[in-house]
């Protein structure tokens, strides 16, 4: 426990970190240490858990090791045990000194206030209320809260600055003629990884064989993204220096570059050669050969229109031959030596352009972009005109175009519509190099992965086969291990019984001895620790609501100045409704949810809504909108000031946000962990209708199962936009198709819907496939 003596803590902390870091952060750390319930733990271990991230992210210490050392020192100086020893010494040396009662100051008031806050705010609560706070104390409390929040924001800002710096990477570039000779497999041996002082991977060994496609799975927050980042940064031993690793993590920067150019720019050699060609042609006063650069636009247009054949065959008739002719003519006509040299160089440039398939590049780039749902006009638009989600697709297109030795993708299907997911699956199946993809989408993993890497209990185990095979193997292994453990246990008991029975029997002494040895030799059968099961518990809607809950009557909608998105929509929703809306990006699915929720109003027609009905929406904007500086508990307390802390904690925990996570700043949470907080926030009002926009994005496979179970027992209506086949098939009764301004039921299964989409698309493979 802490001494919670304000002055001592201030003196020790400021003395230890003299001049380092932001004083506000140091004050915040002091406030944490002064908490009378603060535990330092053995050698300051618990202190490290709590203040380590602030020390590291606030740049007060250089790294984890220094943070641990500092926490140990703080424990030695400030823990109650240390204080008791010090005071015993002081007592012996000085006798009893005056006790400064006045120092049981504002902290005590604050803690009293904080622990009673909910009672104070519950006017009719029957609990015994503490005496009301004076205005002065209230002001003190507000000041303290503001100060703490300011410190939290500074820590967040420091973290964001560091993250932005470490993510600043060069544009991905095609690297040719590399890695010739030698094995292109990657052996990562005995590596460990941690994040914010939390050990995520411990002493793991992983082999990535060239040409295989690995699906990396594991519960939210186990460290998958951390592993990809470490690989991309070449921070793990065993990754050959010449292995080109590309991690698609950040969207491309928005500027005036047209989308297709942003992709083509990755072929730096091509760009340089084309620039040199232009220079040489200018100096030689020549025109560019007809079928050279002009092929770019035509190829882009054709491929974008979906003619994949054109993507493969849009090379110029013979750029090099044309160049030879140009060069020869130049040399003959002018006879100048410089000109001849330039012409020869131009010839070499054309040869190389031809060799690297420079004229096929625009078609290839366009084909990839088309697969990711960019139409031709979109390919010509500057990247700055696109939203983050679309710029993420440009980043993905660039990586596919570059074709690195090791491609790292982190939940790529989250950013895509079903059309694009199906295209990507088909494209990756033909991927000629090594792929490591984090995904929670079963179908995607079933199609794409040749192997599964399971990150669990800080270990990584490789399973051959796709996700379904992994699931079967895992279940089988667990069953066998449990059986073996039971058999071993029975055998032990049997041997032990023999020993107990004949222990004092001199005739059997030798036998007993040998059984004791046998018992010692019997190894424990290791049974993999199973993750705790949980379900998302959606509270029962509060207050009866008679149908019709929501009815659309001849609803038309368009954004001001925009095209008509919906025409004469007529449908109703009630507590029994279980629908999923499917349709391509930009067709209006989110708009429809906004019309239902009342965020948008129809331009024609009307929507009637039962006024007693509570609707709750979950979408990525809600997840992204959570204040990263605050903890999940603070977020809940702000949104629901009348609720009591244990109730908020319980609710967070029912969505897989346990106590430790509830007190961690949001910015330290993984994608899936953040989604759970958004779920908890959304459902706290006990809504009647859930409007879920891609709810399974970021959730791990067990969490999706938990969501499915939760929705199965939910007593209200559900309308979701999703491309997650497993989720849809497990939760909804009907598919609604958003198409041509209408929303109509699709009479068929999800597989039939997919077959319909696939029939429309045609996918060409990667360049070297
Ligand atoms: N400062 C910090 N303090 C404590 N824990 C931290 C800190 N920063 C990160 N973490 C933890 O490190 C882990 C990082 O997880 P990472 O993002 O690699 O997980 P993931 O497996 O990719 O998760 P998801 O499936 O949700 O994307 C999380 O458990 C997170 O809570
Ligand atoms: N606030 C807005 N103002 C003007 N146009 C908008 C606005 N929001 C969306 N749009 C446009 O309306 C169309 C439908 O958008 P919406 O987001 O509803 O589509 P969606 O089917 O949900 O797409 P996605 O699957 O990408 O989320 C798109 O063309 C979009 O650009």
Q: How far is the CA of 69 from the centre of ligand 1 (A)?
A: 23
Quote the DSSP letter at residue 411: S
Report pLDDT digits (tens) over 534-575: 778 888 888 766 777 899 999 999 999 999 999 999 999 999
Q: Phi first, then psi: give them for residue 480, nearest 5 degrees.
A: -65, -45
Measured CA to CA, the distance from residue 434 to residue 448 in angstroms comes to 12
Please give the distance of CA 133 from its chain centroid, rounded to a whole number.
43
Q: How far is the CA of 169 from the centre of ligand 1 (A)?
A: 22
Contact 700, 411 (CB under 8 A): no
Q: What is the pLDDT of residue 527?
A: 61
Contact 744, 737 (CB under 8 A): yes
Report pLDDT digits (tens) over 235-255: 998 888 888 899 998 788 889
The finding on whether 434 has its CB within 6 A of some atom of ligand 2 is no
pLDDT(308) > 50:
no
The finding on whether 44 has its CB within 6 A of some atom of ligand 1 is no
- Among 392-396, 450-454, 499-503, the least confident range: 499-503
State what percent of residues in the chain have pLDDT above 90. Answer: 45
Q: What CATH architecture does domain 550-764 belong to?
A: 3-Layer(aba) Sandwich (3.40)
Mean pLDDT across the stretch 662-666?
Answer: 92
Confidence of residue 529 (pLDDT cuts 50, 70, 90): low
State what percent of residues in the chain have pLDDT above 70. Answer: 81
For the chain, which residues make up each domain, given as ranges? 6-81, 186-263+381-465, 480-521, 550-764
Ligand showing the shortest atom-to-Cα distance for residue 657: 1
Measured CA to CA, the distance from residue 34 to residue 114 in angstroms comes to 15
Of residues 371 and 180, the one with the higher pLDDT is 371
Contact 564, 558 (CB under 8 A): yes
Confidence of residue 57 (pLDDT cuts 50, 70, 90): confident
Cα within 13 Å of Cα(398), Cβ side: 30
Measured CA to CA, the distance from residue 257 to residue 489 in angstroms comes to 67
Quote the DSSP letter at residue 717: E
Of residues 177 and 518, the one with the higher pLDDT is 518
Measured by CA distance, the residue closest to atom 28 of ligand 1 is: 221
The finding on whether 225 has its CB within 6 A of some atom of ligand 1 is yes
The finding on whether 589 has its CB within 6 A of some atom of ligand 2 is yes
pLDDT(233) > 70:
yes
The finding on whether 722 has its CB within 6 A of some atom of ligand 2 is no
Q: What is the pLDDT of residue 173?
A: 82
Using CA atoms, how far residue 514 sits from 399, 493, 517, in Å, is 64, 15, 5
Using CA atoms, how far residue 489 sits from 308, 522, 534, in Å, is 62, 10, 29
pLDDT(129) > 70:
no
Ligand showing the shortest atom-to-Cα distance for residue 631: 1
Residues 85, 89, 92, 94: is their CA dihedral positive or negative?
A: negative
Of residues 680 and 296, the one with the higher pLDDT is 680
Contact 672, 220 (CB under 8 A): yes
Within this chain, domains 186-263+381-465 and 550-764 share the same CATH topology:
yes
Measured by CA distance, the residue closest to atom 9 of ligand 2 is: 591
pLDDT(453) > 90:
yes
Mean pLDDT across the stretch 68-80?
Answer: 87
Of residues 135 and 580, the one with the higher pLDDT is 580
Q: What is the pLDDT of residue 381?
A: 95
For tokens 């699915």, the residue is 589
Q: What is the pLDDT of residue 215?
A: 98
Q: How far is the CA of 420 from the centre of ligand 1 (A)?
A: 28
Quote the DSSP letter at residue 292: S
Measured CA to CA, the distance from residue 379 to residue 385 in angstroms comes to 11
Q: Pocket of ligand 2, candidates 588, 595, 691, 692: which has the most ligand atoms within 8 Å of its Cβ, to mutate?
A: 588
pLDDT(475) > 90:
no
Report pLDDT digits (tens) over 20-31: 777 777 877 887
> Nearest Cα to 622, choosing from 713, 559, 712, 694?
694
CATH number of 186-263+381-465: 3.40.50.300
Report pLDDT digits (tens) over 340-397: 888 899 999 999 999 888 999 999 999 999 999 999 999 999 999 988 789 999 999 9
In ligand 1, which atom is closest to the CA atom of 53? 1
pLDDT(280) > 60:
yes
Measured CA to CA, the distance from residue 322 to residue 314 in angstroms comes to 16
Measured CA to CA, the distance from residue 83 to residue 81 in angstroms comes to 5
Measured by CA distance, the residue closest to atom 13 of ligand 2 is: 586
Of residues 738 and 150, the one with the higher pLDDT is 738
Q: Which residues contact 645 (CB under 8 A, 6 or more apart)?
A: 117, 118, 633, 637
Using CA atoms, how far residue 690 sits from 540, 632, 635, 698, 718, in Å, is 12, 21, 21, 18, 5
The finding on whether 588 has its CB within 6 A of some atom of ligand 2 is yes
Q: How far is the CA of 201 from the centre of ligand 1 (A)?
A: 12
Q: If residue 394 lies in a helix (H) or strand (E), which one and from where to where?
A: helix 388-402
Q: What is the pLDDT of residue 143?
A: 80
Q: Token digits for 585? A: 């990006």
Q: What is the pLDDT of residue 45?
A: 86
The residues that bridge with 213 in the sheet, in sequence order, are: 435
Residue 35: left if φ>0, alpha if ψ -120 to 50, beta else—which one?
beta
SS3 of 9-36: the string is HHHHHHHHCCCCCCHHHHHHHHHHHHCC
The finding on whether 414 has its CB within 6 A of some atom of ligand 1 is no
- The pTM of the full predicted model, rounded to 2 decimals, is 0.75
Q: How many Å from the N-terminal Cα to the C-terminal Cα in the chain?
A: 63
Confidence of residue 450 (pLDDT cuts 50, 70, 90): very high
Cα within 13 Å of Cα(74), Cβ side: 36
The finding on whether 417 has its CB within 6 A of some atom of ligand 2 is yes
Of residues 93 and 170, the one with the higher pLDDT is 170
Q: What is the pLDDT of residue 86?
A: 63
Q: What is the pLDDT of residue 209?
A: 96
Measured CA to CA, the distance from residue 284 to residue 270 in angstroms comes to 21
Q: Which residues contact 187 (CB under 8 A, 6 or more apart)?
A: 205, 206, 207, 238
pLDDT(77) > 70:
yes
Q: What is the pLDDT of residue 461?
A: 94
Q: Which residues contact 477 (CB under 8 A, 6 or more apart)?
A: 528
pLDDT(316) > 50:
no
Q: What is the pLDDT of residue 110?
A: 45
The finding on whether 595 has its CB within 6 A of some atom of ligand 2 is no
Cα within 13 Å of Cα(325), Cβ side: 8
Q: Edge to edge, what strands does the sheet with 564-573 contain?
A: 564-573, 550-558, 604-609
Q: Which residues contact 133 (CB under 8 A, 6 or more apart)?
A: 109, 113, 120, 141
Q: If residue 364 lies in a helix (H) or strand (E), which one and from where to where?
A: helix 361-371
Q: Pocket of ligand 2, candidates 556, 557, 586: which has the most ligand atoms within 8 Å of its Cβ, to mutate?
A: 586
Q: What is the pLDDT of residue 507?
A: 78
Helix crossing, 632-639 with 671-683: angle to 10°? 20
- Among 125-129, 544-548, 682-686, the least confident range: 125-129
- Among 133-142, 604-613, 683-692, the least confident range: 133-142
pLDDT(623) > 90:
no
Measured by CA distance, the residue closest to atom 5 of ligand 1 is: 196
Q: Which residues contact 421 (CB under 8 A, 6 or more apart)?
A: 413, 441, 444, 723
Mean pLDDT across the stretch 671-684?
Answer: 94
């Amino acid at each position: 426990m802490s001494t919670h003596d304000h002055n001592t803590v201030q003196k020790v902390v400021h003395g230890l970190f003299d001049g380092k870091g932001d004083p506000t952060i140091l004050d915040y750390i002091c406030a944490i240490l002064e908490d009378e319930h603060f535990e330092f733990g053995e050698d300051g271990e618990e202190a490290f858990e709590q203040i380590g991230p602030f020390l590291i992210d606030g740049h007060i210490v250089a790294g984890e090791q220094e943070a641990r050392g500092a926490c140990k020192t703080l424990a030695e100086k400030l823990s109650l045990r240390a204080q008791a020893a010090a005071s015993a010494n002081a007592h012996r040396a000085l006798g009893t000194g005056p006790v400064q009662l006045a120092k049981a100051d504002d902290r005590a008031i604050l803690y009293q206030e904080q622990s009673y806050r909910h009672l104070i705010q519950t006017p009719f609560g029957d609990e015994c209320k503490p005496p009301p706070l004076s205005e002065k104390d209230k002001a003190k409390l507000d000041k303290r809260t503001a100060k703490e929040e300011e410190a939290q924001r500074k820590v967040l800002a420091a973290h964001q600055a560091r993250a932005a710096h470490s993510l600043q990477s060069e544009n991905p570039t095609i690297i040719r003629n590399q890695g010739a000779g030698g094995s292109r497999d990657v052996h990562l041996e005995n590596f460990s990884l941690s994040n914010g002082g939390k050990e995520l991977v411990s002493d793991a060994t992983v082999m990535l064989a060239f040409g295989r496609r690995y699906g990396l799975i594991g519960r939210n927050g186990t460290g998958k993204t951390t592993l990809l980042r470490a690989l991309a940064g070449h921070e793990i031993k065993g990754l050959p220096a010449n292995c080109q690793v590309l991690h698609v993590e950040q969207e491309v920067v928005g500027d005036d570059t047209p989308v297709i150019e942003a992709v083509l720019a990755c072929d730096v050699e091509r760009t340089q050669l084309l620039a040199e060609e232009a220079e040489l042609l200018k100096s030689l006063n020549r025109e560019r050969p007809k079928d050279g650069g002009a092929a770019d636009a035509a190829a882009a247009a054709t491929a974008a229109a979906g003619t994949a054949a054109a993507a493969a065959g849009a090379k110029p008739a013979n750029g090099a031959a044309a160049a030879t002719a140009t060069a020869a003519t130049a040399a003959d006509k002018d006879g100048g030596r410089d000109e001849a040299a330039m012409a020869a160089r131009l010839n070499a440039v054309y040869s190389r352009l031809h060799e690297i398939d420079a004229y096929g590049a625009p078609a290839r780039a366009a084909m990839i972009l088309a697969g990711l749902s960019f139409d031709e006009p979109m390919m010509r638009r500057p990247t700055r005109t696109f939203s983050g989600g679309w710029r993420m697709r440009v980043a993905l297109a660039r990586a596919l175009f570059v074709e690195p030795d090791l491609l790292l993708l982190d939940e790529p299907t989250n950013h895509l519509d079903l059309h694009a997911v199906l295209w990507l699956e088909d494209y990756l199946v033909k991927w000629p190099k090594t792929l490591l993809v984090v995904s929670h989408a079963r179908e995607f993993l079933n199609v794409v992965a040749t192997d599964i890497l399971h990150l669990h209990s800080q270990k990584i185990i490789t399973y051959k086969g796709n996700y379904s095979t992994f699931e079967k193997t895992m279940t089988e292994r667990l069953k066998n291990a449990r059986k073996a453990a039971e058999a071993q246990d029975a055998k032990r008991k049997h041997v032990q019984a023999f020993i107990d029975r004949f222990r004092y029997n001199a005739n059997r002494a030798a036998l007993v001895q040998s059984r004791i040895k046998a018992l010692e030799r019997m190894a424990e059968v290791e049974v993999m620790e199973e993750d705790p099961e949980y379900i998302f518990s959606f509270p029962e809607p509060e207050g009866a609501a008679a149908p019709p809950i929501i009815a659309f009557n001849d609803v038309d909608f368009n954004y001001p100045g925009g095209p008509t998105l919906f025409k004469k929509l007529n449908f109703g929703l009630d507590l029994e409704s279980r629908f999923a809306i499917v349709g391509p990006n930009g067709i209006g699915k989110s708009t429809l949810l906004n019309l239902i929720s009342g965020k948008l109003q129809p331009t024609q027609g009307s929507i009637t809504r039962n006024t007693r009905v509570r609707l709750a929406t979950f979408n990525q904007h809600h997840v992204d909108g959570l204040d990263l500086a605050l903890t999940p508990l603070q977020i809940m307390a702000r949104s629901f000031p009348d609720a009591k802390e244990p109730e908020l904690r319980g609710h967070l925990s029912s969505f897989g946000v346990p106590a430790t996570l509830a007190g961690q700043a949001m910015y330290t949470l993984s994608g899936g962990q953040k989604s759970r907080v958004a779920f908890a926030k959304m459902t706290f009002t006990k809504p009647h209708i859930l409007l879920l926009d891609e709810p399974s994005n970021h959730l791990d496979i067990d969490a999706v199962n938990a969501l499915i179970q939760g929705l199965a027992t939910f007593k209200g209506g559900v309308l979701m936009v999703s491309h997650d086949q497993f989720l849809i098939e497990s939760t909804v009764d009907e598919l609604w198709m958003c198409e041509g301004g209408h929303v109509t039921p699709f009479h068929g299964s999800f597989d039939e819907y997919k077959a319909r989409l696939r029939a429309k698309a045609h996918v060409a493979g990667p360049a070297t496939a």
